[in-house]
């Protein structure tokens, strides 16, 4: 019997980096003879991708199809088990799966060309929190081995209720006091107060009179997506003292899929960042920029700098580095107990300013995000 380490090493030897480039409305696809990736538009507000029963990625001699939604398994209760389903154009002899962190035990063939991967809420939550991917090793009856990729995300699928509140579709990972969580947003068309959510583990707090942050623990987010039959309700009080309510249904969907014949697992960015700290810093920096722009945004834009949206979009995991010299840290942290990451400025790119993220080495708790010119 192969160990989890053995399967992880097998993936490290064979899987490849699949590039992404835009080419269509709801689905962006880049394809060569050896590799293909399909990216689902995160802002597909017209629901074009939602209407698809399957997403497909094609390379020469091989096609892989995935169901676009990570399905909740009925009857799994509080353990919240999920399943990714797919099929191929070749008969399969074996299927195995892994993430950047570990091999998974839930991959199996369910017919000659169909496969599925069962995930615990912990495994799925870790992928979501680290912006990670699910990798599959597909052994075919022809003797060739292909590799498939599925990247999940949680989004607001539908919403209804008072037009006084709008729930933003996309969520981003962030660090909470008790671990990794996720942040959504509410926007109102007039000043609101005392906003709250109908489920435990969800903290709603004001970011101005008409804007609210919605912070989910990882478990609360997946619980809301798992129980799609019970909408998540957001309620707030308007200036006249009247309660307004908005219902939202969350869904766990495909953000990217891909297929390839060969190349190393280590080529994927998160494989080299197995602890997810670089990805966490990217998320924490995006969150910190909101407060920064609340104070200085008008001056930044007036001086020719990026808008908040452009600054957040400029945060790139690939540009994050760990600070090696404590003298370069303006806060002078003790590097024996603190790890400091840096990212070039995103308000005035090329200015030489730097953003820092400090984390405890023992446990990875966020100490702070700060900038220095």
Q: Where are the domains of the chain?
A: 4-153+252-271, 156-249, 277-372
The dihedral built from the CA positions of residue 65, 71, 73 and 74, taken in this order, carries a sign that is negative
- Say if residues 99 and 111 touch (Cβ distance below 8 Å): no
pLDDT at 83: 96
Question: Strand 243-260 to strand 35-40: parallel, antiparallel, or no bridges (unpaired)?
Answer: antiparallel
pLDDT at 364: 74
Distance between CA 130 and CA 271 in Å, rounded? 11
Among residues 196, 164, 202, the alpha carbon closest in space to that of 183 is found at 202
Q: Which two tokens stand for residue 40?
A: 């689902």
- Say if residues 354 and 371 touch (Cβ distance below 8 Å): yes
Radius of gyration of the chain (CA): 22
Q: Which CATH number fits domain 156-249: 1.10.3470, 3.30.70, 2.160.20, 2.60.40?
A: 2.60.40
pLDDT at 226: 92
Among residues 115, 290, 99, the alpha carbon closest in space to that of 107 is found at 115
Per-residue pLDDT of the chain (373 residues; tens, 9 = 90+): 444 444 333 433 333 222 332 233 444 555 555 656 677 765 554 444 555 689 998 888 999 999 999 999 987 667 789 999 999 999 999 998 887 667 788 899 999 999 999 999 888 988 888 788 888 888 999 988 888 889 999 999 999 999 999 999 999 888 776 677 899 999 988 888 878 899 988 999 888 888 899 999 888 999 999 988 899 999 998 888 889 999 999 999 999 898 887 643 433 444 444 346 777 788 889 889 999 999 999 999 999 999 998 898 888 776 788 888 888 999 999 988 898 999 999 999 888 899 999 988 776 788 999 998 7
| Cα 360 to the center of its chain, rounded Å | 23
Distance between CA 7 and CA 29 in Å, rounded? 29
Among residues 235, 202, 206, the alpha carbon closest in space to that of 218 is found at 202
pLDDT at 24: 38
- Say if residues 174 and 127 touch (Cβ distance below 8 Å): no
Distance between CA 178 and CA 69 in Å, rounded? 28
pLDDT at 21: 27
- Say if residues 88 and 63 touch (Cβ distance below 8 Å): yes
- For residue 327, the tally of other CB atoms under 10 A from its CB is 7
Among residues 296, 312, 360, the alpha carbon closest in space to that of 341 is found at 360
Among residues 252, 250, 251, 254, the alpha carbon closest in space to that of 66 is found at 254
- Say if residues 181 and 217 touch (Cβ distance below 8 Å): yes
Q: Which two tokens stand for residue 37?
A: 């990736």
3-state secondary structure the chain: CCCHHHHHHHHHHHCCCCCCCCCCCCEEEEECCCEEEEEECCCCCCCCHHHCCCEEEEECCEEEEECCECEECCCCHHHCCEEEEEEECCCEEEEEEECCCCEECCEEECCCCEEEEEECHHHHHHHHHCCCCEEEEEEECCCCEEEEEEEEEEEEEEEEECCCEEECCECEEEEECCEEEEEEEEEECCCEEEEEECCCCEEEEECCCCEEEEEEEHHHHHHHHHCCCCCEEEEEEECCCCEEEEEEEEEEEEEEEEEECCCCHHHCHHHCCCCCHHHHHHHHHHHHHHHHHHHHHHHHHHCCCCCHHHHHHCCCHHHCEECCCHHHCCCCCCCCCEEEEEEECCCCCCCCCEEEEEEECCCCCEEEEEEEC
Which residue do the tokens 């353990």 mark? 79
Q: State the first-to-last Cα distance of the chain, in angstroms, to the nearest integer.
A: 55
């Amino acid at each position: 019997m192969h160990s989890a380490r053995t399967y992880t090493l097998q993936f490290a030897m064979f899987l490849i980096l699949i590039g992404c480039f835009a080419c269509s409305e709801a689905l962006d696809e880049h394809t060569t003879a050896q590799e293909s990736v399909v990216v689902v538009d995160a802002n597909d507000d017209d629901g074009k991708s939602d209407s698809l029963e399957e997403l497909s990625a094609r390379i020469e001699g091989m096609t892989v199809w995935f169901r676009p939604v990570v399905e909740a398994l009925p009857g799994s209760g509080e353990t919240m088990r999920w399943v990714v389903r797919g099929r191929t154009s070749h008969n399969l002899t074996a299927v195995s799966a892994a993430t950047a962190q570990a091999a998974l035990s839930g991959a199996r063939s369910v017919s000659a060309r169909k496969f599925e991967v069962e995930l615990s809420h912990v495994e799925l939550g870790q992928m979501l929190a680290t912006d990670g991917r699910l990798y599959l090793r597909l052994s075919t009856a022809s003797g060739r081995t292909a590799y498939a990729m599925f990247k999940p995300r949680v989004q607001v699928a539908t919403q209804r209720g008072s037009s006084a509140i709008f729930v933003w579709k996309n969520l981003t990972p962030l660090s909470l006091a008790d671990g990794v969580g996720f942040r959504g947003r509410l926007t109102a068309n007039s000043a609101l107060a005392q906003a709250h959510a109908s489920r435990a583990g969800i903290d709603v707090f004001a970011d101005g009179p008409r804007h609210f942050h919605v912070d989910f623990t990882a478990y609360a987010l997946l619980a809301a997506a798992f129980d799609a039959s019970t909408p998540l309700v957001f309620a707030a009080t308007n200036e006249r003292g009247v309660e307004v309510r908005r219902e939202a249904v969350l869904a766990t969907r495909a953000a990217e899929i891909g297929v390839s014949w060969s190349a190393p697992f280590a080529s994927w960015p998160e494989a080299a960042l197995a602890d997810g700290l670089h990805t966490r810093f990217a998320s924490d920096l995006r969150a910190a920029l909101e407060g920064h722009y609340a104070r200085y945004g008008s001056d930044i834009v007036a001086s020719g700098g990026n808008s908040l949206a452009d600054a957040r979009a400029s945060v790139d995991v690939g540009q994050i580095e760990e600070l090696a010299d404590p003298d370069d840290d303006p806060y002078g942290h003790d590097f024996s107990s603190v790890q400091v990451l840096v990212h070039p400025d995103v308000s005035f790119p090329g200015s030489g300013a730097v953003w820092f993220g400090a984390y405890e080495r023992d446990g990875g708790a966020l100490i702070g995000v700060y900038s220095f010119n």
